[in-house]
Amino acid sequence: FFSGFKNIELMTGRRNIIWSALLSQGTKNIFYGIGNGMSEIVTKNKIGQSFGPHSTYIGVLSETGIIGAIAFFLFLTMILVKGRKIKDKKLRHIFIVIYTAMILLQITESHLRAFMQFIILFWLMASIPFTSEATGEGNIYHSAGRGEL
C-alpha cells in the first residue's frame, strides 16, 4: 500500500521528524522532561523550524517527563472511569464515544494544547461524569444540607 509513497516526510506531515526530535531531547531528562512549552524551541534547534509536538501525548511525555505523563494519563483515565458510571445509558454512550474520539485524535494532533474551542469542548465533556445528577452519586454540597458528610 505504501510502496507508492517515496517521501515519508510528506506522508506524515513531518511528524516523524518532530516526534523523533522531541523524544530524543526528552530522554535526556526522562523523569522531568524538557520543560512545559519547550517543544517549539527544541524543534527550532533540531530541525530549523518551530513546530508544536503534533501529538498531545508525545508533547506531554517530552515536556513533563515520565512523572508528568503518568499524572496526565491517570487524569484522563479517571475521567473515563467516572464517565462509565453515568446512569443514563444514552448519555453514557454519547460521552464514551465522544471522549474516546477526542482522546484518539490527540495521538496525531495537539488540540488540547492549542485550540480554545477544542479545549472548551473537552472540559465540558470531562465535567459531565462529575455531576451528581449524571452519576447518581451525592456530592458534599447536597449531602451537607441533610446533615450527612
pLDDT digits (tens, 9 = 90+) for 121-147: 888 888 888 775 666 665 544 444 554
* pLDDT attached to residue 73: 94
Q: Once rounded to an integer, what is the mean pLDDT over residues 36-50?
A: 85
* pLDDT attached to residue 77: 93
Is the pLDDT at 34 greater than 80? The verdict is: yes
Is the pLDDT at 149 greater than 50? The verdict is: no
Grid coordinates belonging to 100: 474516546
